[in-house]
């Protein structure tokens, strides 16, 4: 969101001056095992809504390629899904709704592995981890714990970070810094840590947003403690601290990325949150021991901002981008781990949505508000802007018996790539298939799923099914926040 999307995605929209939504360990470094109970005794049981099943999905085409979405932004954390045989054209009602479930507050994306879907949200004063059947929405188990987190800008108090599924375990990191490892099969607590208290991290602009990264048996977290550590690696098996890295740059809303650069495995953490003066940038870290190999300062000069888009890695080049007149930079990493700038311009300053690379070109949303936001295409190697579009369409809206025409926009929507094209969810709930190339923008299809603000969480694809989070109430059609599952399985 992240949150959205969460933060995950997700980052908060403009507030006041255009704010972006979006030390030493105290206590022990050892994990705190909580036994097998999935319901801590001091947590008041939240009222959980049951899913409503609507239609059986089409059979999965035998020749279709499918993927598992076990973390944020797809299998490779770059918004690219290797799914094929997807439905791209639909009638006036859009794709078939398979099931829906009323949800609490939050901007987290669902994570899916096999026959388990994990959704992280807040109901009342409890953070809830729901395990559902991805094709029916039926609840398999739930885990919850009390939280007192309150957003500084009153934009919602639910989780932003997306769950991570790995080797039969679920990892969640709440906005208040509660880090849990749960058994995927049962929901029982394996271990937990309270990162904000243990590492003395004050509450950032929007709490904990970044989704942790799995690297081998390590869980990489951008905790962002003042004076360090900036990044902490936990052992996924028992929760103990393996290493700490960095003495500057706070917790951003961007999620860490890993890649092999010049034959060496590297972690890329795009840090930078609440600090005055604002500081942050890209860290290249050796995952074996936490050594910072190189660093590239990059951050808006605006205090009320954070780095929010996940780094885009292609070969030895890494693209970073930030809003508030910052733009984007292509950074090349040498064999000794040092960065050099290939190009830097303001053509693509992403507010929070991670741009997507395809065949030598970069596609993303530039700008932070309705008047400025545009979908742009840049040449990867040079940063040259090839085109810029600001799509707009009209809808007839009826409220209290009165109808009026209103404009709707693509805005800084959440975009993913699958089956050769781009699937985009707008900030207000429209779903579009787009054909994007160096030659330009073409709309394949568009439908309205709902009309609600703060739709910042990226949609999720898994086995031909599309999962969409409606983060706020639709006041036009009177629907609450929901998790929605649509059938995108082609019949051809």
Q: Is residue 312 predicted with pLDDT exceeding 60?
A: yes
Structure-model confidence comparison of residues 303 and 29, the more confident one: 303
CA dist 458 and 1 (Å) reads 8
Q: For residues 211 and 8, what is the distance between their CA atoms, to the nearest angstrom?
A: 6
Q: Is the pLDDT of residue 42 over 80?
A: no
pLDDT value of residue 426 = 95
pLDDT for 38: 43
Q: What value does the mean pLDDT take over residues 58-78?
A: 92
Within a 13 Å sphere around the CA of 292, how many CA atoms are in the beta-carbon half? 20
Q: Average per-residue pLDDT in the chain?
A: 90
The residues near 331 (Cβ < 8 Å, ≥ 6 apart) are 282, 296, 317, 318, 319, 320, 339, 340, 341, 342
* Residue whose tokens read 């990226």: 458
Q: Which two tokens stand for residue 394?
A: 């009209």
Q: How far is the C-alpha of 196 from the C-alpha of 279, rounded, in Å?
A: 20
Of 435 and 34, more confident: 435
Does an H or E element contain 195, and which? helix 195-198
Mean pLDDT of 426-454: 96
pLDDT on residue 98: 98
Please, which residues have CB within 8 angstroms of residue 368's CB and are 6 or more apart in sequence?
13, 14, 18, 20, 323, 324, 349, 351, 412
Of 34-38, 59-63, 386-390, 393-397, which range is least confident? Answer: 34-38
Q: Which of 102-116, 194-208, 268-282 is the most confident on average? A: 102-116
Q: What domains lie within the chain, and their CATH numbers?
A: 52-487 (2.130.10.10)
Please give the pLDDT value at position 85.
96
pLDDT of residue 24: 26
Mean pLDDT, to the nearest integer, of 82-96?
Answer: 93
Please tell me the pTM assigned to this model: 0.92
What number is the average pLDDT over the span 71-94?
94
């Amino acid at each position: 969101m992240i949150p959205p999307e969460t933060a995950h995605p997700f980052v908060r929209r403009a507030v006041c001056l255009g704010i972006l939504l979006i030390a030493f360990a105290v206590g022990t470094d050892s994990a705190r095992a909580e036994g097998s109970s999935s319901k801590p005794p001091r947590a008041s049981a939240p009222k959980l809504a049951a899913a409503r099943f609507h239609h059986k999905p089409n059979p999965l085409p035998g020749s279709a390629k499918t993927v598992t979405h076990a973390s944020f932004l797809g299998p490779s954390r770059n918004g690219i899904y290797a799914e094929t045989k997807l439905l791209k054209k639909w009638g006036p009602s859009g794709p078939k709704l398979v099931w829906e479930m009323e949800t609490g507050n939050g901007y987290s994306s669902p994570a899916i592995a096999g026959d388990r879907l994990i959704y992280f949200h807040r109901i009342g004063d409890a953070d809830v981890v729901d395990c559902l059947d991805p094709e029916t929405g039926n609840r398999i188990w739930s885990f919850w714990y009390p939280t007192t987190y309150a957003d500084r800008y009153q934009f919602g108090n639910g989780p932003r970070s997306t769950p991570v599924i790995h080797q039969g375990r679920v990892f969640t990191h709440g906005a208040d810094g509660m880090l849990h490892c749960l058994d995927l099969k049962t929901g029982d607590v394996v271990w937990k840590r309270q990162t904000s208290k243990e590492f003395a991290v004050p509450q950032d602009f929007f709490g904990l947003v970044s989704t942790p990264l799995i690297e081998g048996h390590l869980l990489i977290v951008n905790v962002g403690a003042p004076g360090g550590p900036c990044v902490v690696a936990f052992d996924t098996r028992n929760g103990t601290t393996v290493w700490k890295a960095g003495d500057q740059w706070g917790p951003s809303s961007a999620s860490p990325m890993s890649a092999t650069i010049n034959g060496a495995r590297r972690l890329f953490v795009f840090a930078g949150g609440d600090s005055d003066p604002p500081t942050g940038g890209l860290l290249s870290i050796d995952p074996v021991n936490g050594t910072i190999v190189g660093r590239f300062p990059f951050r808006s000069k605006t205090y009320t901002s954070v780095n929010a888009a996940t780094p885009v890695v292609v070969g030895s080049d890494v693209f970073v981008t930030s809003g508030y007149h910052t733009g984007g930079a292509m950074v090349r990493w040498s064999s000794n781990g040092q960065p050099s700038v290939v190009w830097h311009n303001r053509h693509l300053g992403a507010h929070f949505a991670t741009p997507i690379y395809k065949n030598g070109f970069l596609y993303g949303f530039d700008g932070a508000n309705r008047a400025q936001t545009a979908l742009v295409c840049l040449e990867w190697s040079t940063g040259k802007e090839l085109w810029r579009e600001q799509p707009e369409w009209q809808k007839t809206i009826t409220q209290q018996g009165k109808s009026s025409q209103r404009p709707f926009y693509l805005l800084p929507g959440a975009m993913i790539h699958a089956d050769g094209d781009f699937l985009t969810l707008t900030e207000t709930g429209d779903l579009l298939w787009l054909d994007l190339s160096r030659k330009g923008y073409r709309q394949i299809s568009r439908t309205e799923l709902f009309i609600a603000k703060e739709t910042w969480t990226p949609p999720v694809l898994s086995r031909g099914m599309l999962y969409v989070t409606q983060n706020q109430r639709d006041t036009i059609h009177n629907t609450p926040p929901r998790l929605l599952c649509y059938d995108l399985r082609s019949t051809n």
